[in-house]
């Protein structure tokens, strides 16, 4: 049995004490074990504060970017091995695994290029120079400076590769050493990444704790930061636990919605895009995607047609052993996840009607009877989406979406987005610019990202569920209030903004001008 070690204070150590198993969610076979404690985390923080901080401080943005490029290359070199681990430990189909792993490599490459562009500037400029004196000689300039501290990264089970890479890319480029903790249940991919990255990184730049957090958050001091992705209950605990001066970024639950505009015919390009996006974003990664579409809003006149079309699409998805080429959707990742999704479906079922999939019972393809954490795609519907509490107040983290009807009013659609109390992303599909403007104006305060589907962009759309490194990822309210990525913006969490005043020519040189 493989025993997973953590990489802390410059060495690999297995920890000690009780063990937790990592399981194949298709077969329920134990794949590996990890000790639940026994690590000297104080030594890990000390290593980050000394070796890690020193090494990164001595590097320019361009040099740190070059390290990120090497990490992306390492992922490409081990891609097939990483995919196999994701299939076994995450219940991922090959496509799901690529989405996670390639997404990690793309994000590292994006920040590698940004590092090259930022070059050797000592500080990052924030906005244009400002004249604050009588003449242009006396200037003002906002800048971002590297924070002195340790970045602790805590990730969710669903994206073991991308989660590690997207947070790491921003922190390292900004110049902060990282201690990263993947979710235990699916840690095989992150563990392998840590092994691949270790020889490519400066000492102390990245340490990886495999297994439960233990005392990870007990020795934080002002200047340290914590970036968390996971459930809202854990997020709430972190908010209460962390000392005030420690910066905290939260990516949590999200009730993302997709709205069909009243002008869109399902046979049009925008209509086809809407159907494809909903079907994919409710079933990709078995619905275990923070950006998955949970709520669908369609004009009353198209309600029956949309229900039929989505039913046709999701019923064609083969569910079963994700290592099989003919299977399009695997199991959920853990027994707990299975229980939680079933409970969520039962809550929804009490308030909605079934369109397809009942409450998720399924006989998976190629799986021994009674084995695996399988749930089939579930489509529900409601004629009163605004007042359907289970739909608007609970995230079901599985292949489950509910279709509600409305009168086509853009203001109502925006209120429906707001009813989720803050989401990572929501989408609207319309070619009517006036409708779109009204919708965006009212919905934007409730979403980290709005995806505007239309006929003109349909052929080149990545879909709302794909998080791009160049655009912000995060959302207000229920989604945690966090902001990650967004190109250069992603570095700001790991830096401190400071307003400089002085000789304008000196200020210019400080930002590489
Ligand atoms: P979770 O149970 O909250 O766990 C998330 C992470 O927190 C794991 O690494 C977990 O470690 C760790 N953790 C648990 N208790 C902790 C503690 N006391 N101190 C420090 N760390 C602790 O969430 P999950 O089940 O992995 O993920 C599912 C949730 O994540 C969903 O609700 C989904 O909405 C959300 N999510 C959000 C995003 C986003 O970008 N907004 C992305 C993906 C997922 P262990 O695994 O060792 O318990």
Specify the CATH number for the domain of residue 84.
3.40.605.10
Residue 476 lies in a domain: no
The reply to whether 127 falls in a domain is yes
Question: Could you tell me the CA-to-CA distances from 380 to 2, 47, 360, 406 in Å, in that order?
Answer: 42, 52, 11, 15
Query: Do 379 and 454 reside in the same domain of the chain?
Result: yes
Can you list the pairs that 111-114 forms with residues at least 24 positions away whose Cβ atoms lie under 8 Å? 111/65, 111/68, 111/169, 111/170, 111/173, 111/469, 111/490, 112/65, 112/66, 112/68, 112/69, 112/72, 112/169, 113/65, 114/61, 114/65, 114/173, 114/487, 114/488
In a shared domain, residues 300 and 211: no
Residue 475 inside a domain? The answer is no
User: Is the minimum distance from the CB of 230 to ligand 1 under 6 angstroms?
Assistant: yes
* Ligand 1 geometric centre to CA of 70 (Å): 28
Query: Between β-strands 423-429 and 257-260, what pairing exists: parallel, antiparallel or unpaired?
Result: parallel
Q: How far is the CA of 125 from the centre of ligand 1 (A)?
A: 34
**Whether residue 120 is found in the same domain as residue 99:** yes
Q: How many domains does the chain have?
A: 2
Q: What is the CATH number of the domain that holds 271?
A: 3.40.309.10
User: Would you say the CB of residue 156 lies under 6 angstroms from ligand 1?
Assistant: yes
Residue to mutate (ligand 1; options 36, 41, 152, 156; most atoms within 8 A of CB): 156
492 falls within a domain: yes
User: Within this chain, do residues 313 and 184 fall inside the same structural domain, yes or no?
Assistant: no
Collect all residues with Cβ–Cβ distance below 8 Å to 478 and sequence separation of at least 6.
Answer: 232, 252, 253, 254, 255, 420, 421, 422, 423
Task: Indicate if 245 and 377 belong to the same structural domain.
Answer: no
User: Could you tell me if residue 478 is inside a domain?
Assistant: no
pLDDT of residue 1: 86
399, 375 Cβ separation under 8 angstroms: yes
Q: Is the CB of 288 under 6 A from ligand 1?
A: no
Q: Is residue 349 part of a domain?
A: yes
Q: Considering only CA atoms, which residue is closest to atom 31 of ligand 1?
A: 231
Pocket test for ligand 1, best of 103, 230, 292, 485 (most atoms within 8 A of CB): 230
For residue 477, tell me if it sits in a domain.
no
Looking at the structure, do residues 376 and 487 belong to the same domain, yes or no? Answer: no
Task: Look at residues 257, 233, 243 and name the one whose alpha carbon lies nearest to residue 443.
Answer: 257
DSSP E strand boundaries for 65-169: 124-131, 138-146, 151-154
pLDDT score at 486? 98
Active-site positions? 251, 290
Please check whether residues 236 and 339 belong to one and the same domain.
Answer: no
Does the beta carbon of 269 lie inside 6 Å of ligand 1? no
CA–centroid distance, 369 to ligand 1, in Å, is 30
Residue 324: inside a domain? yes
The verdict on 240 and 285 lying in the same domain is no
Considering only CA atoms, which residue is closest to atom 4 of ligand 1? 230
- Of 102, 100, 75, nearest in space to 90 by CA: 100
Query: 200 in ligand 1 pocket by Cβ < 6 Å?
Result: no
Q: Does one domain contain both 241 and 281?
A: no
Q: Given the CA of residue 424, which atom of ligand 1 is nearest to it?
A: 41
* Mutational test site, ligand 1, from 22, 25, 99, 183, max ligand atoms within 8 Å of CB: 183
Per residue of the chain (513 residues), give pLDDT as tens.
Answer: 899 999 999 999 999 999 999 999 999 999 999 999 999 999 999 999 999 999 999 999 999 999 999 999 999 999 999 999 999 999 999 999 999 999 999 999 999 999 999 999 889 999 999 999 999 999 999 999 999 999 999 999 999 999 999 999 999 999 999 999 999 999 999 999 999 999 999 999 999 999 999 999 998 999 999 999 999 999 999 999 998 889 999 999 999 999 999 999 999 999 999 999 999 999 999 999 999 999 999 999 999 999 999 999 999 999 999 999 999 999 999 999 999 999 999 999 999 999 999 999 999 999 999 999 999 999 999 999 999 999 999 999 999 999 999 999 999 999 999 999 999 999 999 999 999 999 999 999 999 999 999 999 999 999 999 999 999 999 999 999 999 999 999 999 999 999 999 999 999 999 987
Domain residues for the domain of 441 are 257-470
Rounded CA gap, 134 and 201, in Å?
A: 48
Atom 41 (ligand 1): residue with closest C-alpha? Answer: 251
Do 337 and 385 belong together in one domain?
yes
**Same-domain check for residues 303 and 234:** no
**Dihedral angle computed from the Cα positions of residues 438, 441, 446 and 447, in that order, rounded to the nearest 10 degrees:** 90
With beta carbons less than 8 A apart as the criterion, state whether 203 and 51 touch.
yes
C-alpha pair distances (Å), 315 with each of 309, 318, 481: 10, 8, 36
Q: Whose CA is nearest to atom 34 of ligand 1?
A: 253
56 and 167 belong to one structural domain: yes
Which residue from 450, 484, 448 is spatially nearest to 469, judged by alpha carbons? 484
Task: Round to whole Å and give the CA distance between 44 and 395.
Answer: 35
Quick one: pLDDT at residue 208?
98
What separation in Å is there between the alpha carbon of 143 and the centre of ligand 1?
Answer: 33
Specify the residue with its C-alpha closest to ligand 1, atom 36: 230
- Measured from the CA of 155, which atom of ligand 1 is nearest? 9
Is pTM beyond 0.85? Reply is yes
**Which residue puts its alpha carbon closest to atom 46 of ligand 1?**
183
Question: Exposure pattern of 286-297 as b/e (b: 16+ CB <10 Å)?
Answer: bbbbbbbbbbbb
Looking at the CA of residue 482, tell me the nearest atom of ligand 1.
41
């Amino acid at each position: 049995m493989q025993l997973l070690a953590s990489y802390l204070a410059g060495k690999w150590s297995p920890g000690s004490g009780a063990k937790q198993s990592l399981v194949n969610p298709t077969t329920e076979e134990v794949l590996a074990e990890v000790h639940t404690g026994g690590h000297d985390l104080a030594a890990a923080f000390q290593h980050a504060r000394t070796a890690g901080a020193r090494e990164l401080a001595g590097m320019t943005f361009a040099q740190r970017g070059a390290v990120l490029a090497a990490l992306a290359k390492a992922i490409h070199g081990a891609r097939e091995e990483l995919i196999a681990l994701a299939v076994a430990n995450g219940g991922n189909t090959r496509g799901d695994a690529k989405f996670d792993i390639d997404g990690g490599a793309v994000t590292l490459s994006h920040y590698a290029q940004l590092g090259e562009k930022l070059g050797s500037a000592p500080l990052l400029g924030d906005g244009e120079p400002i004249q604050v004196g009588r003449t242009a000689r006396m200037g003002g300039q906002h800048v971002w400076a590297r924070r002195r501290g340790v970045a602790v990264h805590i990730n969710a089970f669903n994206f073991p590769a991308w989660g590690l890479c997207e947070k790491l890319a921003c922190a390292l480029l900004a110049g902060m050493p990282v201690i990263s903790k993947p979710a235990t249940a699916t840690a095989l991919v992150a563990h392998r990444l840590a092994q691949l990255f270790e020889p490519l990184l400066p000492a102390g730049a990245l340490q990886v704790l495999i297994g439960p957090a233990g005392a990870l958050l007990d020795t934080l001091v002002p200047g340290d930061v914590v970036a968390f992705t996971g459930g809202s209950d854990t997020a709430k605990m972190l908010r209460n636990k962390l000392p005030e001066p420690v910066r905290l970024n939260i990516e949590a639950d999200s009730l993302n919605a997709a709205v069909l505009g009243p002008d869109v015919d399902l046979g049009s390009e925008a209509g086809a895009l809407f159907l494809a996006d909903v079907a994919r974003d409710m079933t990709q990664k078995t619905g275990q995607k923070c950006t998955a579409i949970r709520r669908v809003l369609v004009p009353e006149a198209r309600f029956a047609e949309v229900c039929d079309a989505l039913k046709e699409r999701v019923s064609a998805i083969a569910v079963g052993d994700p290592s099989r080429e003919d299977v399009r959707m695997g199991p959920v990742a853990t027994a707990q996840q299975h229980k939680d999704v079933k409970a969520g479906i039962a809550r929804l079922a009490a308030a909605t009607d079934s369109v397809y999939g009942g409450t998720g019972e399924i006989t998976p393809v190629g799986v021994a009877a009674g084995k695996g954490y399988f749930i089939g795609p579930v489509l529900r519907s409601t004629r009163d989406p605004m007042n359907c509490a289970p739909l608007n107040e609970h995230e079901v983290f599985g292949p489950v979406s509910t279709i509600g009807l409305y009168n086509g009013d853009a203001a109502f659609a925006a209120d429906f987005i707001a009813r989720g109390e803050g989401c990572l992303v929501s989408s609207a599909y319309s070619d009517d610019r006036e409708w779109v403007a009204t919708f965006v104006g009212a919905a934007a305060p409730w979403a980290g990202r709005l995806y505007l589907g239309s006929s003109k962009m349909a052929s080149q759309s990545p879909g709302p569920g794909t998080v791009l490194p160049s655009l912000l990822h995060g959302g207000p309210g229920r989604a945690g209030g966090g902001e990650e990525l967004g190109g250069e913006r992603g570095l700001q969490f790991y830096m401190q903004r400071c307003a400089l005043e002085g000789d304008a020519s000196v200020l210019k040189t400080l930002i590489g001008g």
